Structure 1
Amino acid sequence: MNKKEVSQKYRIPVEVLDEYESWGLCNVVKYVMGEWQYDNQDLERLSTIMALHDVGFSNKEVEQYMRLLLETPNSKQTRIDFLTKKRKSKLDEIHLQEKQLERIDYLRHEINERKF
């Protein structure tokens, strides 16, 4: 499949496909008649890339993770550590938002108690 077909069929933004191509992580250059051709292995990688983007990884973080996955043998623990760090960061964000919600609730309560 070419870039347009992959983008439409799997709803992957063209920008993500451009990013993937720019990293040079394809095993074999599959450039046919002026277009990249994506195979099943590429689609699996793109699925991982989309999952990483969906959970809040930056483009740079996605590239780092994918390089570990594809270029570094025995990187399992490093990738787990990478994901654990992102998880902690997300939990910190959630806790901050919970505190903000508590503050909003307090202010709403204050308004209701004063009846003005």
Structure 2
Amino acid sequence: MNKIEVSQKYQIPIKILNEYESWGLCDAVKIVMGQWQYDDTDLERLSTIMTLHNIGFENKEIEHYMRLLLEVNDSQQTRIDFLTQKRKAKLALIHQQEKQLEKIDYMCHEIKNKSKEVL
């Protein structure tokens, strides 16, 4: 499949396909008649890339992760560590947002209490 077919069939933005191609992560030349041809391996990689995009990875982080994934030596622990770091950062953000929600709830509670006092 070419880039447009992959984009339409799998709902992958052309921008992401362009990034993937620019990283040069393929083992063999996959250009036929001037267009990149995507195979099942590419689609599996793109699925991983889309997942990483969806969970908030930046482009450089995705490229780094994909290079680790494709290394000849075993990078399993390095990838786990990388994902664990991202998870910790997400949890810290969630905790920060929970504290903000608590403050909002407190302020609403205070407003309601003051309005009861006026009555």
Aligned to 1:42: 42
Q: Which amino acid aligns with 1:65?
A: Y
Q: What amino acid maps onto 1:73 in structure 2?
A: N
Q: TM-score, normalised by structure 2?
A: 0.95
1:94 is the counterpart of 2:80: no
Specify every segment of 5 or more residues in structure 1 that has no aligned partner in the other structure, as ranges: none
> SS where residue 74 of structure 2 aligns?
coil
Q: 1:112 is aligned with what amino acid? A: K
- Residues 6-34 of structure 1, C-alpha deviation per residue, up to 9 Å, x if partnerless? 00000000000000000000111110111
Equivalents in 1 of 2:84, 2:90: separation in Å? Answer: 10
The AA in structure 2 aligned to 1:62 is I
72-81 vs 104-113, greater mean Cα deviation: 72-81
Query: Amino acid of the residue matched to residue 64 of structure 1?
Result: H
**What is the aligned-residue RMSD (CA, Å)?**
0.9
Counterpart CA distance in 1 for 2:48 and 2:88 is 20
Q: How far 1:72 moved relative to its partner?
A: 4.5
2:107 matched residue in structure 1: 107
Q: How far, CA to CA, are the matches of 2:29 and 2:49 in structure 1?
A: 19
Mapped to 1, the partners of 2:72 and 2:103 lie a distance apart of 46
Q: CA deviation at 1:71?
A: 2.0
| CA distance, structure 1, for counterparts of residue 26 and residue 46 of structure 2 | 11
For residues 111 and 103 of structure 1, the distance between their equivalents in structure 2, rounded to whole angstroms, comes to 12
Aligned residues: 116
Q: Structure 2: give runs of 5+ residues left out of the alignment.
A: none
In structure 1, how many angstroms separate the alpha carbons of the residues matched to 2:71 and 2:33? Answer: 28
Structure (1 or 2) with the larger CA radius of gyration: 2
In 2, Cα distance between the equivalents of 1:94 and 1:75? 29
Report the alpha carbon displacement of residue 73 of structure 1 after superposing the two structures with TM. 1.3
Name the CA distance, whole Å, in 1 between partners of 2:103 and 2:72.
Answer: 46
TM-score normalised by L of structure 1: 0.98
Measure the CA separation in 1 of the matches of 2:74 and 2:34. Answer: 36
